[in-house]
Structure 1
Amino acid sequence: MDPVGSSSRRAPAVGRGTKMRAAVLAAAVTELTSTGYAALTVDGVARRAGVHKTTIYRNWEDSDGLVADALVSHFSADIPIPDTGAVESDLRALARSLVATMTTPAGRALLATVLSDAVRVPRLAEVKHALFVDRFRRAEPVVARAVERGELPADTDPAELLKALAAPIYFRLVFTGEQVGEATADGAVRLALAAAHARVFRAA
């Protein structure tokens, strides 16, 4: 990575332990958003977090490990799971939440990182896989409840339905660069539900 950090002034000191770790991880996400993965440096993160770079090296082996932990910390926070009593409104809430998350500066930085050469770094490749798998796993109860209510076929595979829900959103974010918003999310819900009712997502 480029040895030049992007932040020229050190933030106020943050102490040690949990508070220090939280400050460093938050600074890493902010630095990643500002500079991109290739230009991110431990020096830059340290200045932004208000710690000495040796503090970071005592807790993280290298900048790749720091970025990996920062992404996990930022994006693995509890995801609100809607329970409106109807599958369409539940899926709409999930899809709109995904759009809202991935169109923030941090969300776009995550996409840029996992789609860049950084994905060749084993630790970051593992993080990419874990983040997306975890997001789908947490949302599966939405589909399970819909099956129990008789709104979806009994053999619906929750993971496959949720992937189909997310696919149109990620396609526009990653490949076409189109603007995404609530209309994109709502369209993805209609497509996913139509396919589910056609039993496209039958569990193996």
Structure 2
Amino acid sequence: MSAAPLGRGPKVRAAVLATTIAELGEHGYAAFTIENVARRTGVHKTTVYRRWPDRDTLIADALTASVATEIPIPDTGSIDDDLRTLARSLVEWITSPAGRAVLAVMLTGPTGAPTPSDPVRHVFRDRIRRALPLVTRAVARGELPADTEAAELIKALVAPIYLRVLITGEKVDDRTADTAAAIALTAARAGLFTGDTSPRP
């Protein structure tokens, strides 16, 4: 018995985006095609092209949806808890099938192979931007120096996690997340992410 048609609307969008992540995880960026996504989803390729004019637009949308769902921006009322929660969510996502698929897209392929466009890479820059209020709220509460550069703090939080996964190939877990959060918070409270670059005692 064949599956019921997806029809149009949110169900189609959700199905296509989920298939996109699955295709990236199984076949990588270079072999990714809209035709394969349409066939696997069970819709005509014109249905996909009507919503997403090219593959990078589709991939960027799928990555954005995956990251937004799996790594929500916390608002616990405490910078300690916010950073720890954000780091743990990142670790949980980065070790999931969806997370591994997304990261596979970001890795540089062999010479001559297609590599992700700037719109695809923009997904991660956008996620940093969306996390900035986490820091500005902490500044307003007096938990961090007034001139703390929010983007630098968020980058310092996620960098050790990405390094272990992408560079050294180490396993990451809640302890990894908690350590990254503690180090980033300690540096922020010491004023290392402020505009003042003068030496501190």
Q: Which TM-score applies when normalising by structure 2?
A: 0.82
- What's 2:94 paired with? 102
Letter in 1 for 2:121: K
- What's 1:87 paired with? 79
- What's 1:125 paired with? 118
Alignment of 1:31-42 (within 5 A): 31-42=23-34
Separation in structure 2 between the aligned mates of residue 58 and residue 155 of structure 1, nearest angstrom: 45
**Secondary structure of 1:199's aligned partner:** coil
- 5+ unaligned residues in a row in structure 1: which ranges? 1-9
Separation in structure 2 between the aligned mates of residue 101 and residue 181 of structure 1, nearest angstrom: 11
Q: Is the 8 A contact 1:169 1:180 kept in 2?
A: yes
Cα deviation, residue 148, structure 1: 2.1
Highest relative contact order (Cα 8 Å, sep 6+), 1 or 2?
Answer: 2
Q: Is the 8 A contact 1:169 1:188 kept in 2?
A: yes
Cα deviation, residue 64, structure 1: 3.6
Q: Is the 8 A contact 2:22 2:101 kept in 1?
A: no
Q: Is 1:179 the equivalent of 2:184?
A: no
Separation in structure 2 between the aligned mates of residue 104 and residue 78 of structure 1, nearest angstrom: 10
Choose from 6, 15, 27 the match for 2:7: 15
Cα deviation, residue 76, structure 1: 3.8
Q: Deviations over 1:97-138 (max 9, x none)?
A: 1111221111111111122347745xx322212x22222222
Q: Is the 8 A contact 1:79 1:138 kept in 2?
A: no
Identity %: 57
Separation in structure 2 between the aligned mates of residue 18 and residue 65 of structure 1, nearest angstrom: 17
Q: Is the 8 A contact 1:119 1:125 kept in 2?
A: no
- 5+ unaligned residues in a row in structure 2: which ranges? 197-201
Letter in 2 for 1:113: V
Aligned alpha-carbon RMSD (Å):
2.4
Separation in structure 2 between the aligned mates of residue 119 and residue 190 of structure 1, nearest angstrom: 38
